[in-house]
Amino acid sequence: MTPPVGSTIIGRHEAQGRDSTMAGSTFKTNPVSLQKLLEEAESGKLQLPDFQRSWVWDEERIRSLIASVSRGFPVGAIMTLSAGSDVAFKPRPVEGAPAAALAVIPDALLLDGQQRLTSLYQVTLRNAVVSTITAKKKRVKRWFYIDMRKALDASEEREAAIVSVPEDKVIRSDFGRTVELDLSTRDAEIENLMYPVSMLFAWAKWQGSYISKYAGADDFAERYSFISRFDDEVVGEFTGYQIPVIELDKSTSKEAVCVVFEKVNTGGKPLDAFELITAMYAADGYELRRDWYGGAGAIGLHKQFTEYLRLPNAPEGILANVDSTDVLHVISLFHTRDRRVAAEAAGKVGRDLPQIIGNRAALLNLPLAAYVEHLPHAIRGFELAAKFLMTLRIYRPYDLPYQTQIIPLAAILGEHPDIMDHMADRERLTRWYWNGVFGELYGSTTESRIARDFIDVPLWMRGGAAPSTLDDATFRADRLWTMRMRLSAAYKGVNALLMGEGTRDFRSGQEYANAVFFDEGVDIHHIFPQKWCQTAGIDRAVYDSIVNKTPLSARTNRIIGGVAPSDYLAKLERGSNDSPPVPVSDLDASLNSHLIDVDRIRCDDFDGFMSARHERLISLIEGATGQRVYREHVDADELLEEEFDEAGDEAEHTLSPVS
């Protein structure tokens, strides 16, 4: 039995005219004739909002859809938005609609059901070959037919009766030498009893051709009975098919439309605020996508950010993962701040003052004029944020503790660029940043914190109270033992702080700054190697923590291998054919730069080394945050336990050094 397409269980036999409008709701549900919906799509009365993605269904899904409708099975409801609402989207006709549809002002926009309705329009009313793809993603052109004999055979699966043929309507085998089925003429279609899906709403015309061909035949009565049965049992399912239409009325808010798309696009890439705003700005003639993706000779922000301050040998810059919604978030902070300032000037207080926020609702209500006004400041803010992060020795998006924290950072610097020019302000900004990282405050539910920090951090620099991020940040000493992989922002933070302290490579003695970081393929590696720890019977939960890890070059890590520290240090001191000897005093200085107790590591004292380095890392974090780390013991089951790195995960993003 052919499974129904879609999930809605309301079918063509639902009572017609049932109105599902409820008190206070902004929608109603009514069954509408499939033929009427397709005719409205063709005329342009029903169109798509411009942000809808292109029609992409493959031929197997189309065959399944035809089969479902041909049996009266439900294929799911569709959702429309009445035209003329406050949500002004630029419309576009469904794919394949005639050019005349472009000039029509639509009565409604199709929010959900594009793929199904476009597929049905393409194969039926449009009466043209359909461009689609095979299961192997090969682009093809197909006509669709219903094998009348199989369709009326109760023992046959209905999908077996749905046949797709090439553009010339001839199915061949043996490398094109043998014709298996030729449907290139109307007579051939009739002789083979293959009914064109493109004529499902033109039965009378096809029936007329059939009668003309067989009117004088001895078995005409039998033939006519057969096609009449096909008309009743198959064609009638299409002409009588009803689709439930959920109609959102003109009062539907922008946020509600966004929520709708989050719910109905579960099978694909979720629609974000940027795409909705793109469609709304397009209604005013502004091409938002060009700002982000470029075009007409202009380089878009996405490429600009990816390339900005990209160091030699680096695949991308620190801003590579900034997305379009992040930029809109910063602009929304500027805009809602302006609205609040204006409200205060007008004498409003308390709850009458608009919030400073960058949540989805604020983004969807961001006026085009505000976007244009504040875009340059947002761009400046992200660029200054990149410079700031590089001063903290954070060079790759992969090493960024929190992608979300770059939003308030960019907003603060975009509004107050002079912070970078004043040491005291820059030090306070640095302290705020590390409190966010080590307090692990930007992992979830960040919208309100972003807005507060945007306002409070600059006020703090001018003598105001410390921002709540400093008050909320706490770090426990025992937390260091549970930081074992890069899922932890604090793990990445320790790595950056170590490099900021001037860590030097054990072999070359170079600090890991800028180009050296990429030239030498620097990444986090074990100090006491995993193999040695495993042989010594040390618990993985202990040796895999950040306490036993440090930034090292790829070449140095290969020299270290899996031997005891005393062995690899001696090897470095001896040198080799491709690596000169390292003086003991220089090597000791490099070890100290990593906060490693030289005496402990030289005698392979793992426990003593871990205890001493744990204390030094605590001091490092206290210096960065300006806050006391809590050293009180916490039961193990109260600590945040994380997954372990699989072997080699640490070096996954290590770049091979240039030879």
Q: Supply the mean pLDDT for the chain.
A: 86
In this predicted structure, the answer to whether residue 24 has a pLDDT above a threshold of 60 is no
Give 577's pLDDT tier (boundaries 50, 70, 90): confident
In this predicted structure, the answer to whether residue 647 has a pLDDT above a threshold of 90 is no
Instruction: Give this prediction's pTM.
Output: 0.70
Can you count the helices (H) and strands (E) in the chain? 29, 14
What pLDDT does residue 522 have?
A: 81
Half-sphere exposure (CA, 13 Å, Cβ side) for 436? Answer: 26
Give 584's pLDDT tier (boundaries 50, 70, 90): very high
DSSP H or E stretch at residue 218: none
More confident residue, 169 or 155: 169
58-61, Cβ contacts within 8 angstroms, sequence gap of 24 or more: 58/132, 58/133, 58/134, 58/135, 58/137, 59/132, 59/133, 59/134, 59/140, 59/142, 59/164, 60/135, 61/5, 61/119
What pLDDT does residue 651 have?
A: 38
Percent of the chain with pLDDT over 90: 63
In this predicted structure, the answer to whether residue 17 has a pLDDT above a threshold of 50 is no
In this predicted structure, the answer to whether residue 43 has a pLDDT above a threshold of 80 is yes
Cα angle, residue 517 at apex, residues 511 and 523 outer, rounded to 5°: 105
Left (φ > 0), alpha (ψ -120 to 50) or beta: where does 587 sit?
alpha
- The DSSP output letter for 295 is B
Tell me the pLDDT tens digit for each residue of 244-274.
Answer: 998 888 777 766 766 666 565 544 445 567 8
In this predicted structure, the answer to whether residue 86 has a pLDDT above a threshold of 90 is no
In this predicted structure, the answer to whether residue 648 has a pLDDT above a threshold of 70 is no
User: Which residue bears the tokens 């205060």?
Assistant: 344
What pLDDT does residue 475 have?
A: 93
Percent of the chain with pLDDT over 70: 86
- The DSSP output letter for 194 is E
What pLDDT does residue 26 have?
A: 57
In this predicted structure, the answer to whether residue 657 has a pLDDT above a threshold of 50 is no
Between 42-56, 64-78, 472-486, 551-565, the lowest mean confidence (pLDDT) is in 42-56
Tell me the pLDDT tens digit for each residue of 181-239.
Answer: 999 999 999 999 999 999 999 999 999 999 999 998 999 999 999 999 999 999 999 99
What pLDDT does residue 381 have?
A: 98
Give 520's pLDDT tier (boundaries 50, 70, 90): low
In angstroms, the Cα distances linking 601 to 482, 531, 556 are 22, 16, 17
What pLDDT does residue 529 have?
A: 94
Give 289's pLDDT tier (boundaries 50, 70, 90): confident
Tell me the pLDDT tens digit for each residue of 392-445.
Answer: 999 889 899 999 999 999 999 999 999 999 999 999 999 999 999 999 999 877
* Cβ contacts of 600 within 8 Å, gap of 6 or more: 608, 609, 612
In this predicted structure, the answer to whether residue 76 has a pLDDT above a threshold of 80 is yes
Query: Is there a contact between 64 and 2 (Cβ–Cβ < 8 Å)?
Result: yes
In this predicted structure, the answer to whether residue 20 has a pLDDT above a threshold of 50 is no
Q: Which residues pair with 248 in a beta bridge?
A: 27, 81
In this predicted structure, the answer to whether residue 11 has a pLDDT above a threshold of 90 is no
What pLDDT does residue 3 have?
A: 39
Q: How many residues in the chain? A: 659
Highest mean pLDDT range out of 100-109, 308-317, 378-387, 392-401? Answer: 378-387
Give 514's pLDDT tier (boundaries 50, 70, 90): low
